[in-house]
Chain A
Amino acid sequence: MIEASGLSKTFEDGEGKSLAVLSGASLRVARGELVAVMGRSGSGKSTLLHILGGLDTDYAGQVTVAGQRLDGASDEALARFRNTTVGFVFQSFHLVSGLTAAENVALPELFGAHAADAPRRALEALERVGLAAKAQRNPAQLSGGERQRVAIARALFLKPPVLLCDEPTGNLDGATGAEIIELFQRLNREGLTILAVTHEDRVSAAAQRVLRLDQGQLV
């Protein structure tokens, strides 16, 4: 489902020194897998995730996700890919203020060519994460765990085959984090391919396979 090889990425820091974050990293994730990528802070986990999700285009190497070649793809093609093929879940949820939970969930709809009845499908997506009752709340009226559920419902709204998570439980306490992890496991059982980058053992413990990012390589 996800295939990447020879990924390299260097950042220029302020003083003109360059920092190689990825140097020839490769990975392969099969359909229906739940894989965790671990590494210490600053090892390049988020960077890797952005490349795999088509959010970053400035790198070397090849990436194919769900049969789509990402390196060298046009901005329009990458936008369509992010809209339909992957869902993102972030550590800080990144909900849009001023929109209700349901409207947040339906956000991808605005950038796609999809049909009507978005409100009903948003409610269905919220049901899947157990939050249908709070569909009309604003993000500010929700707890951290609830916000992350809304974010997950948004990521799944257009039924992408792949979910990419960046420290999905990083801002949640133990019990709430455990609920989110359970949710991921359930979604994975239903067929979703999940790649989560994290430095938390509780996430990697739930994964079927754990990769380590070290010195710009995946092992």
Chain B
Amino acid sequence: MKASAVSALVRLNLRRDRRGALSSLFGIAVGVSSLVFFVALGLGISRVVREKVFPVDTRLVEVVPPQVALGGLLGGTLDQAAVDRLAALPGVDRAHRKMNVRVPAVCRYRGDFFGQQLNMGLEVIAVGVDPSLVQADVQLGKFEDPGAGQPIPAVAATRLIEIYNKTFAPARGLPQLSPAMLVGFSFPVELNRSFVTASAVGPSTPGTMQLVGVSERGLLAGVTIPLEAARRINKDHGADAATFTGVTLETSDPAQVPRVVAAVKEMGFRVDDAERRLSENAGAAVAITTLAMALLSALICLLAALNIAHALSASVRARSRELGVMRAVGASRADVARLVRAEALVLGASGGALGAALAVAAAFAVDLAVARFVPDFPFKPDAFFRVPLWLPLAGVALGALAAVVGAVGPSRRAARLEPARVLAG
């Protein structure tokens, strides 16, 4: 039987029973649209978690010294020798060292702050890192120790600015800041001084820091400065300048991570995976919610398939004479079954297309409404939904599949029909 013939007869049937066709199509559309909608939401939210809330680079392994220093017993100090051994581990491309500034520091700011008069005192937490770690995000000058008395280049964390803009600044009437505005901004620091402890010994040293970039690899609650600058400050103030606070190992690909982690533990160090865990947990929560919604929608599709099965059964019964006539003029049993299946396929695919279109339109509308009417909050994304091209296509395919599954019974019944029984008389 030719495809054109199948299509002509399917069109005839849909034309004659518009109501039945619409009801079958609508059932499929409801199932597919809810599925596409929730999957798009899940994809969108998990992207926000991955890229904005917990931007974990899955290739990185954070190595920290053991919690209880067992002295040199297990080689547990993170000195240069240890770093060299870590860098030599198979699968590790590079090792980025980190050293905290081990003396307290404060910033006393008095004056113009982006158009506003500001009088503020803040504890400053600083970590020194190998320039290679943040070099890609530096926009101003060289990220290296400029030497005593010179402004120290500093990098701020992307997430810190997000939190400042959405929570800290609005409550205090402070201006909104963009990375572009911040680059070049200088602020005074006093090293070896603290508002909260009396432990600082010796005289404090005045200095300046200048923001040169914004990075996702920056320290969340503080500033990130060149490693050599941190080392120099520690040395100048009599603090430990030989061991590192941590080492970030960059692997060639995420698959190497488990192996590298095992080797690091073997060497007596710990791996700080708190961030990664948080990210994974949040990701898992989103995935489970999405899965639950998807299952619910799949259930709706199943109901739609049953609905189609029911409708087609009735239609086959009502058309038994006509199907008998088709057999008499040359249709085989397989032809008759094919007709029923083709009808279901058309209903399912168009229901799926309608559903996918509705879902995409709804997702778009929700995103637009949220952007317009919901006030800003930290990590508020531009879009809650993500609709990759495959998603609506999968929706259409699912609609077609549900309908074809629903057509299995009715098409068999149509094929079993005995024309001799329905044509006489």
Residues of A within 8 A of B (CB): 46-47, 50, 53, 55-56, 75-76, 78-80, 82-84, 88, 90-92, 94, 96-99, 107-113, 154, 166
Are B326 and A55 touching (Cβ within 8 A)? no
Are A107 and B329 touching (Cβ within 8 A)? yes
Are B15 and A107 touching (Cβ within 8 A)? no
- Complex: chain B residue closest to A155, CB-CB: B329
Q: Which one of A83, A96, A98 lies within 8 Å of B330 (CB-CB)?
A: A83
Residues of chain A with a CB closer than 8 A to B327's CB: 55, 79, 82
Q: Which one of B15, B322, B425 lies within 8 Å of A92 (CB-CB)?
A: B425
Are B328 and A82 touching (Cβ within 8 A)? yes
Q: SS class of chain B's interface: helix, strand, loop or mixed?
A: helix
Min CB–CB distance B308 → chain A (angstroms): 21
Residues of B within 8 A of A (CB): 1-2, 5, 8-9, 12, 15-16, 321-322, 324-335, 418-420, 423-425
Are A111 and B334 touching (Cβ within 8 A)? no
Are B419 and A55 touching (Cβ within 8 A)? yes
Min CB–CB distance A153 → chain B (angstroms): 12
Separation of A50 and B421 alpha carbons in the complex (Å): 10
- Complex: chain A residue closest to B322, CB-CB: A96
Separation of A107 and B327 alpha carbons in the complex (Å): 11
27 contacts between A and B (CB under 8 A): A46-B424, A46-B425, A50-B424, A55-B327, A55-B328, A55-B419, A56-B418, A75-B334, A76-B334, A78-B332, A79-B331, A79-B333, A82-B329, A84-B330, A88-B328, A92-B425, A94-B322, A96-B322, A98-B12, A98-B16, A99-B12, A107-B325, A107-B326, A108-B329, A110-B2, A110-B5, A111-B326
Are A154 and B12 touching (Cβ within 8 A)? no
Known pairs A91-B425, A98-B12; list 15 more (Cβ under 8 Å).
Answer: A50-B424, A55-B423, A75-B333, A79-B335, A80-B330, A82-B327, A82-B328, A88-B423, A90-B424, A92-B425, A94-B321, A110-B5, A110-B8, A111-B335, A166-B424
Residues of chain B with a CB closer than 8 A to A82's CB: 327-330
Min CB–CB distance A17 → chain B (angstroms): 18
Residues of chain A with a CB closer than 8 A to B326's CB: 107, 111
Most buried by B among A47, A94, A109, A166: A94
- Complex: chain A residue closest to B324, CB-CB: A94
Separation of A9 and B321 alpha carbons in the complex (Å): 23
Min CB–CB distance A114 → chain B (angstroms): 9
- Complex: chain B residue closest to A112, CB-CB: B330
Are A111 and B12 touching (Cβ within 8 A)? no
Residues of chain B with a CB closer than 8 A to A80's CB: 330
Are B329 and A83 touching (Cβ within 8 A)? yes
Separation of A113 and B328 alpha carbons in the complex (Å): 16
- Complex: chain B residue closest to A53, CB-CB: B328
Query: Known interface pairs A55-B420, A76-B332, A108-B329. Does A97 touch B16 (Cβ–Cβ under 8 Å)?
Result: yes
Are B332 and A75 touching (Cβ within 8 A)? yes
Min CB–CB distance B328 → chain A (angstroms): 5
Query: Known interface pairs A55-B419, A56-B420, A96-B322. Does A154 touch B15 (Cβ–Cβ under 8 Å)?
Result: no
- Complex: chain B residue closest to A89, CB-CB: B328
Residues of chain A with a CB closer than 8 A to B5's CB: 109-111
- Complex: chain B residue closest to A108, CB-CB: B329
Separation of A154 and B330 alpha carbons in the complex (Å): 12
Min CB–CB distance A150 → chain B (angstroms): 12
Min CB–CB distance B320 → chain A (angstroms): 11
Please give me the 4 A-B residue pairs with the lowest Cβ-Cβ distance, nearest first. A83-B330, A111-B330, A79-B332, A110-B5
Residues of chain B with a CB closer than 8 A to A109's CB: 5
Min CB–CB distance A106 → chain B (angstroms): 10
Most buried by B among A79, A91, A113: A79
Separation of A155 and B424 alpha carbons in the complex (Å): 16
Are B330 and A108 touching (Cβ within 8 A)? yes
Are B329 and A111 touching (Cβ within 8 A)? yes
Separation of A21 and B2 alpha carbons in the complex (Å): 38
Separation of A97 and B425 alpha carbons in the complex (Å): 18
Residues of chain B with a CB closer than 8 A to A47's CB: 420
Residues of chain A with a CB closer than 8 A to B12's CB: 96, 98-99
